[in-house]
């Protein structure tokens, strides 16, 4: 079974800065099926990125995804106050443990 490890566990940044979140797979996975989600407190997760780099409908272009094989990255440029949340990567039936992005 594939394990997805996200780092860092918590990232503290200020609005306007850029965030780089990592998702590492225990073995090579298809980038076509690597997704990223955002979850705010008390809300359901929301799909941000699918196929490692394609933005879901309505997702601002400050969110971008990249990577292949075992290493994937979610980059959020020009952080807005509403971007502070927990982010999960997912491949098949496995989710990473999440990265909490908090306001510094």
Partner 1 sequence: QVQLVESGGGLVKPGGSLRLSCAASGFTFSDYYMSWIRQAPGKGLEWVSYISSSSSYTNYADSVKGRFTISRDNAKNSLYLQMNSLRAEDTAVYYCARVGPRGVNKLGLDAFDIWGQGTMVTVSS
In the complex with partner 1, the residue whose CB is nearer, 50 or 77, is 50
Smallest separation (angstroms) from partner 1 to the CB of 78: 24
> b vs e for 61-86, b when ≥16 Cβ sit within 10 Å of the residue's Cβ?
eebbbebeeeebbbebeebeeebbbb
Name the minimum Å distance from CB 68 to partner 1. Answer: 13
DSSP assigned state of 85: S
Chain residues that interact with partner 1, rule: CB under 8 A: 29-30, 32-33, 35, 37, 39, 43-47, 50-51, 56, 88, 90-98
Residue 43 gets which letter from DSSP?
S
């Amino acid at each position: 079974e594939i394990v997805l490890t996200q780092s860092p566990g918590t990232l503290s940044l200020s609005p306007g800065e850029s965030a780089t979140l990592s998702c590492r797979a225990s073995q090579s996975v298809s980038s076509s099926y690597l997704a990223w989600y955002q979850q705010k407190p008390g809300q359901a997760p929301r799909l941000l990125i699918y196929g490692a780099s394609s933005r879901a409908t309505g997702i601002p272009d400050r969110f971008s995804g990249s990577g292949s094989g075992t290493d994937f990255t979610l980059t959020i440029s020009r952080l807005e106050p509403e971007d502070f949340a927990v982010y999960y990567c997912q491949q098949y039936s496995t989710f990473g443990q999440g990265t909490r992005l908090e306001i510094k």
